[in-house]
Amino acid sequence: MTSLREGLPWQARGGRVGLMGIVNVTPDSFHAPSRAVGTDAVRGRGGVLVGEGADVLDIGGESTRPGATPVSAAEEMDRVLPVIEDLHRAFPDVPLSIDTYKAVVARRAVEAGAAIVNDVTGGLLDEEMPQAVAETGATVIVGHIRGTPATMGEAPDYDDVVAEVTAELSARLEAFRAAGVSEDRLWVDPGIGFGKGASASRALLFGLEGLAVLGRPVVVGLSRKSFLRAALKRAGLGESSSDERLEPSLAAAVLAVDRGAVLIRTHDVAPTRRALALFEGMQG
């Protein structure tokens, strides 16, 4: 298994920001081009993303879009384990991430070659997740959500979204620490769009630097999400499907990095890499 204990891999190579390329082994993820069914298709998408400069590949076997239908752990493992094994053989130097909130799936995925567990619920939906992460030695991205993927579209109200998300992430981090996960293996994701409406997601993005008090690397996933549709509409640019949200995603990625994100989860590695390189170049 690729070890991430020596620091963030892209920073060790001189990069400031890493990119996590999305590989969805699902038939129903919201952005169709990210879907890859079958080992050959997954290897092909993985190869494209690595060629474009992905620092991490994130493999998901269950859609977590709002209103998504849950799948069993057995079905999820049938989808992800063969392709994780294949991608680990094909790209041994690229850390693989398993996008799951189920402890049993996380354990088996790490055995298959994953180095990172990306839990969008931060262990809330499976109380065994902290112990599973501790025992496997994986790095964990502790995500924030209110509700479940099936119900999060109801978008609860926040009085102060940045403060509340920070406090709730702090509590979830403590759960992983208590299970024995070392500090260097704890990353956080504020969960833009996960139990947050468009206004809360926008406020969280603009206030992202507030998460610095947690002292952990910040991962942000905002690629082509629906809160960008609301922003486009407010700007007088009309409605949009996920296929029409590339430019807003790039702008949001730059904004996230400017406010402290060190890893951007994206469907579009090459254009995101160019946008961030331009941003960093303009800063000198």
Enzyme catalytic residues: 225, 265
Is the distance from CB of 252 to CB of 221 less than 8 angstroms? no
DSSP letter assigned to residue 186 = E
The two three-digit tokens of residue 135, written as one number = 């025992």
What's the CA gap between 16 and 3, in Å, rounded? 19
Three-state DSSP class for residue 56: strand
Dihedrals φ, ψ of 98, to 5°? -100, 120
| Sign of the Cα pseudo-torsion (165, 155, 189, 251, in order) | negative
Phi and psi based region of residue 249 (left: phi greater than 0; alpha: psi -120 to 50; beta: remaining): alpha
The two three-digit tokens of residue 276, written as one number = 């961030």
58 sits in which H/E element: strand 56-60
Q: How many CB atoms lie within 10 A of CB 38?
A: 11
Instruction: Give start and end residues of each alpha helix (H) in 103-186.
Output: 103-112, 129-136, 161-179
User: Longest Cα pair distance anywhere in the chain, in angstroms?
Assistant: 51
